[in-house]
């Protein structure tokens, strides 16, 4: 796997990323795909084994279910093997914090 340095952070990020828009398959994202926890875990494990260390998600993917599935799939054993990029600009509710990041791990 090829890696690049992320800005001035010193972090090495794989040039390939696992996108998780299909995780959960709820709401409008059901039309894109419906990967349940078992399938997501299998995909994450395959990607980590191949050297991919960046997972892309967003608070709107299946109304946050994608982020929850990532957290469950990683559990405590593999969470230190990856970086998670979660976009949080899209509003997911009417509350004052419904446009903010969620902590998943």
* Sign of torsion over alpha carbons 91, 92, 96, 100: negative
pLDDT at 103: 46
Active-site annotation holds for 3: no
So where are the chain's domains? 3-87
Inter-residue contact 83 to 104 (CB < 8 Å): no
pLDDT at site 61: 85
Q: Looking at 14, 40, 61, 74, which residue is catalytic? A: 61
User: What per-residue confidence (pLDDT) applies to 6?
Assistant: 92
pLDDT means per 10 residues in the chain (105 residues)? 95 96 85 92 95 92 88 84 82 69 47
């Amino acid at each position: 796997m090829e890696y690049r340095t992320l800005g001035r952070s010193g972090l090495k990020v794989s040039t390939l990323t696992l996108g998780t828009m299909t995780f959960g398959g709820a709401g409008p994202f059901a039309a894109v795909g419906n990967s349940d926890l078992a399938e997501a875990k299998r995909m994450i494990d395959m990607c980590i084994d191949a050297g991919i260390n960046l997972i892309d998600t967003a608070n709107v993917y299946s109304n946050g279910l994608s982020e929850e599935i990532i957290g469950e799939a990683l559990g405590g054993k593999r969470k230190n093997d990856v970086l998670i990029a979660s976009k949080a600009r899209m509003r997911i509710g009417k509350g004052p914090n419904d446009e903010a990041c969620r902590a998943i791990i």
